[in-house]
Amino acid sequence: MDEQSNNLTSYRNTSRRQLFQTVFDHVESKTDKPAECESTIKLLKILNYFKECVFNLFLHENSCNTSQNANNVDSKNFYHALENSWHNVPQCCTEPYILKGYPLTNMPWRYYIKLLWIPNNEMLNIWTHLIPFFYFIWMLLNFNQELDLVKTWPLFLVTICAIILMGCSSFAHMFHSRSCFYHRSWFLIDYIGITAFAFGSTVTHFFACAEVSYYNSFGWYNLVILTLICCAGYLCFTISKVGKVTVDKARSLKLWSNGLGYFHGLLPLFNRFYISEDPVIYYHKVHILCMLFAPIWYAADIPQKYWPGRFDIVGHSHQIFHVFGALACYFDIQAVYSDVTRPNGHWAALETQGDYPSLQLIGTFSFLLLTFCFCLFRYCLKFIPPLGECQRSNQCICASFCSFNITELLQDSKSKIDQENTKLL
């Protein structure tokens, strides 16, 4: 068994096709196949299983370590990222079905600023949120000239939270590729931006867009509930990034936990859709549709799932996810602006309630939420491998692949072959 393992290890630097054929021929030659056709088919199924396992092992074996082939990529070449494939970067920095276009790892910080204009798979991820970042700042400045933002704090809150979301996302996609450590660190910051917008958006739905009857069911205690939900959401984000979970489970944890939390924040709007019809509802409906399509595209990996390699730079699902996310923020801001500025609108009725919160109270809960997020962020840094590279440890998000070794593969496959031979005899 050890000799077979050593023989397989010697083929690590060969092509995928060569490794396939070598393993298949080796096991096939060592197996006593019965003459019956049915027995031969069963054994070939086992061999095919063995071949698929070896392929999966080879595919992910070195995905958590930077390949030496990356040293052959000239960073001075304007198109160098187009030559850098997925196996040259840590597994945690890769995107499903994106084969090339990855920035180089362990480069100076100024290199990653160049990702704004050199062709790479993060360029449009950055711009699809960097442009809305500056646009939302421009919107906030215009709101400040037109309205008293202290009094109309729901509009100020949702706009400033959208700015935080766009900024954190842009910088995370710009600098995360430096190493596995910085990947996890920057995306934990990105998740703070997501949590901030979730807080700002859901709070304004309750305190600026809800029906008075729905608001009175909880009153200002909604603020406490929404803050706790956002804290739980960021906790799930951190577990998905530094916890001992697989990539698929991490995605599911992020989508379901925060999706259910945001659904709670949309309940005032659903109640409003059922009770009344007004022109502002259009903005709310478009915002909800964009917020619904964003995670769908993120989780489905469409279109690169069906045409791997064709959408490495332009058009992959993460970029579409960003576009829908930015549109959702824009229409949410427009909806809140319409509710706040509309005479005799929902906000005009809500602000007259006796327990309606002030900007100071909103600021207090916002500070508590951000303090919780930053403290949890600092705590999670202890669980990120400090060497700047994705190590073969249980802390790695792809630990299920890293712990999968050749010896276990051979033992499992041999036992299946022995069991089948026993049945045939």
Summarised one tens digit per residue, pLDDT across range 264-289 is 889 999 999 888 778 888 999 999 99
pLDDT at 23 over 50: no
Those residues whose C-beta lies under 8 Å from the C-beta of residue 9, and which sit 6 or more positions away, are: 406
Q: What is the pLDDT of residue 38?
A: 53
Lowest mean pLDDT among 255-264, 267-276, 312-321: 255-264
Tokens of 106: 């362990």
Domains and CATH numbers, the chain: 2-63+402-424 (no CATH), 68-111 (no CATH), 113-397 (1.20.1070)
Q: What is the pLDDT of residue 39?
A: 55
Q: What is the pLDDT of residue 370?
A: 95
Tokens of 411: 């033992």
176 is in an annotated binding site: no
pLDDT at 340 over 60: yes
In this prediction, residues 196-200 reach a mean pLDDT of 95
Q: Strand, coil or helix: what is 100?
A: strand
- Percent of the chain topping pLDDT 90: 47
Mean pLDDT of the residues in the chain: 79
pLDDT in tens, 27-46: 445 444 444 455 555 555 55
Q: Strand, coil or helix: what is 64?
A: coil
Of the pLDDT bands very low, low, confident and very high (cuts 50, 70, 90), residue 258 is confident
Exposure b/e, 134-164, CB count within 10 A at least 16 = b: ebbbebbeebeeeeebeebbbbbbbbbbbbb
> Torsion angle, CA of 15/16/19/22, rounded to 10 degrees?
-100
Beta carbons within 10 angstroms of residue 400's beta carbon:
15
pLDDT at 158 over 80: yes
Of the pLDDT bands very low, low, confident and very high (cuts 50, 70, 90), residue 103 is very high
* Start-to-end C-alpha separation, the chain: 24
With 0-12 CB in 10 A as exposed, 13-18 as middle and 19+ as buried, what is 354? Answer: exposed
One-character DSSP codes across 83-95: G-BGGGS-GGG--
Radius of gyration (C-alpha) of the chain in whole angstroms: 26
318 is in an annotated binding site: yes
CA distance 123 to 129: 11
pLDDT at 346 over 60: yes
Cβ(140)–Cβ(160) below 8 Å: yes
In this prediction, residues 46-64 reach a mean pLDDT of 49
| Higher per-residue confidence, 250 vs 284 | 284
β partners of residue 100: 85
CA distance 199 to 269: 15
Q: What is the pLDDT of residue 102?
A: 94
316 is in an annotated binding site: no
Q: What is the pLDDT of residue 5?
A: 39
